[in-house]
């Protein structure tokens, strides 16, 4: 005899009512009427178990010791309605009350328009974005779990329609997926015609579409006269795929048209930088004096007009002639008594390699 029972320990009739043979020894055996009369909740209608000790103690029938947390924790906004059973257990239904968020909050789900959860088939696991503190604001992590919103994107983080346009299932997660219009409309250079790669991040940042961060130096440094050119000067007809990256690749026409000396017929090497700079095609910086023979200094300075004056074979500049200018009579007279003298260009060069 514990609790309230101890108070009636000497009042045998309170329980036995003169019958000591079949007196119940279970709670419900004596408290069936309490069970039947209880309506908050209605135990009988809801077919609550008759093991009273699950929720009640011997101290008193009320209040009960039922712990709702054992079934469904009441946290946040739920805690405020812990004593309002009917708020969740509609019409006294304690048997089939949902124990999932969506089970109770489907109306909230259906009525949400920003975004429209139902139309977009957003998952019904409400806890992904919401807490029990309140249906709103949601705790959805502004995009970072799906697509980082940085730079200009961050400024539209709360304007869902700007990217989703009401579609949250198939929204692209690549740059070109959203920026294909910018790609198609860009004409300096024309991305589409030039078949530029659609990996926008190669040249653009999330700060803004323009200016781009494309660094031409990664492919070909633009120095000297090249720095002043526009794209079309080299990328003819919008060709950005097969543009040469060698001097000769672009300057073959200059090479072919040069006639002083004639590069093509003379078989000059096509390594243009040997003689030219990026400042201009002319004048060349070919150093004839130090590399071969002094013609811009010493006795031969201003003694010639064109290469052909000495290089009499325009198809082969390894052939040269000293005797075109240095006639035999004069030369022979100057070399009287010189042992091994011969009147020939190779002999002249052999003895006078510096033009002296």
Sign for the pseudo-dihedral over CA of 155, 157, 159, 162:
positive
Indicate whether 181 belongs to any domain.
no
Total domains in the fold of the chain: 3
Indicate whether 160 belongs to any domain.
no
Residue keyed to tokens 């075109």: 324
Indicate whether 260 belongs to any domain.
yes
Give the model's confidence band at 142: pLDDT under 50 very low, under 70 low, under 90 confident, else very high: low
In terms of C-beta density within 10 A (0-12 exposed, 13-18 middle, 19 or more buried), how is residue 220 classed?
middle
Domain-terminating residue out of 206, 240, 274:
274
Indicate whether 78 belongs to any domain.
no
Indicate whether 59 belongs to any domain.
yes
330 backbone dihedrals φ, ψ, rounded to 5°: -65, -45
Cβ contacts of residue 136 below 8 Å, gap of 6+? 130
Domain-terminating residue out of 16, 43, 66:
66
DSSP state of 118: T
Question: What is the model's pLDDT at position 22?
Answer: 85
Question: What is the model's pLDDT at position 129?
Answer: 86
268/313 same-domain check: no
Q: Is the pLDDT of residue 170 over 80?
A: no
Give the model's confidence band at 212: pLDDT under 50 very low, under 70 low, under 90 confident, else very high: confident
CA distance 118 to 106: 9
CA distance 142 to 75: 25
Q: Give, in order, the Cα–Cα distances in Å from 328 to each of 301, 309, 322, 332, 352.
A: 21, 17, 10, 6, 16
Percent of the chain at pLDDT > 90 equals 25
Give the model's confidence band at 261: pLDDT under 50 very low, under 70 low, under 90 confident, else very high: confident
Q: Is the pLDDT of residue 348 over 90?
A: yes
Question: What is the model's pLDDT at position 256?
Answer: 93
Domain-terminating residue out of 48, 66, 84:
66
236/269 same-domain check: yes
Instruction: With residue 107 as reference, give the H or E element that holds it.
Output: helix 101-111
Q: Which domain holds residue 23?
A: 3-66
Q: Is the pLDDT of residue 352 over 90?
A: yes
Indicate whether 299 belongs to any domain.
yes
252/297 same-domain check: no
Cα maximum dimension of the chain: 168
Q: Are 76 and 134 in contact (CB under 8 A)?
A: yes
Q: What is the per-residue pLDDT across 197-209, written as a single tens digit (0 to 9) for each?
A: 888 988 898 888 8
Higher pLDDT: 245 or 241? It is 245
20/43 same-domain check: yes
The rounded mean pLDDT for the chain is 86
**Which regions of 139-296 does DSSP assign to beta strands (E)?**
none
116 backbone dihedrals φ, ψ, rounded to 5°: -75, 100
Question: What is the model's pLDDT at position 334?
Answer: 93
Higher pLDDT: 36 or 66? It is 36
Q: Give, in order, the Cα–Cα distances in Å from 303 to each of 60, 182, 307.
A: 131, 63, 11
Rounded to two decimals, the pTM is 0.45
Q: Are 6 and 60 in contact (CB under 8 A)?
A: no
Cβ contacts of residue 88 below 8 Å, gap of 6+? 81, 97, 104
Indicate whether 77 belongs to any domain.
no
270/315 same-domain check: no
CA distance 102 to 84: 20
Q: For the ranges 160-174, 211-225, 270-284, 289-303, which has the lowest average pLDDT?
A: 160-174
Indicate whether 296 belongs to any domain.
yes
Sign for the pseudo-dihedral over CA of 329, 331, 333, 339:
negative
């Amino acid at each position: 005899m514990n609790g309230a029972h101890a108070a009636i320990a000497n009042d045998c009739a309170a329980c036995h009512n003169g019958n000591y043979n079949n007196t119940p020894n279970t709670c419900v055996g004596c408290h069936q009427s309490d069970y039947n009369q209880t309506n908050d909740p209605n135990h009988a209608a809801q077919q609550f178990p008759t093991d009273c000790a699950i929720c009640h103690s011997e101290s008193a029938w009320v209040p009960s010791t039922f712990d709702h947390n054992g079934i469904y924790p009441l946290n946040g906004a739920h805690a405020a309605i812990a004593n309002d059973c009917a708020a969740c257990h509609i019409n006294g239904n304690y048997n089939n009350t949902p124990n999932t968020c969506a089970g109770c909050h489907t109306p909230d789900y259906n009525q949400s328009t920003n975004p429209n959860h139902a139309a977009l088939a957003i998952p019904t696991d409400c806890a992904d974005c919401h807490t029990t503190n309140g249906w709103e604001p949601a705790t959805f992590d502004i995009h970072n779990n799906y697509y980082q919103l940085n730079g200009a994107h961050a400024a539209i983080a709360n304007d869902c329609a700007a990217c989703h346009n009401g579609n949250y299932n198939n929204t692209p997660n690549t740059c070109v997926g959203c920026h294909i219009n910018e790609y198609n409309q860009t004409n300096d250079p024309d991305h589409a015609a030039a078949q530029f790669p659609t990996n926008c991040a190669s040249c653009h940042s999330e700060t803004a579409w323009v200016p781009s961060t494309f660094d031409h130096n990664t492919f070909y440094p633009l120095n000297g006269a090249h720095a002043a050119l526009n794209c079309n000067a080299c990328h003819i007809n919008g060709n950005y795929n097969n543009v040469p990256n060698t001097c000769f690749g672009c300057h073959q026409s200059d090479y072919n048209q040069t006639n002083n000396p004639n590069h093509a017929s003379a078989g000059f090497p096509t390594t243009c930088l040997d003689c030219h700079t990026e400042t201009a095609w002319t004048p060349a910086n070919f150093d004839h004096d130090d590399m071969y023979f002094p013609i811009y200094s010493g006795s031969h300075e201003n003694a010639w007009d064109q290469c052909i004056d000495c290089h009499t074979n325009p198809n082969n500049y390894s052939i040269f002639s000293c005797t075109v200018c240095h006639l035999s009579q004069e030369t022979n007279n100057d070399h009287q008594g010189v042992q091994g003298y011969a009147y020939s260009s190779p002999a002249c060069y052999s003895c006078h390699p510096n033009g002296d």
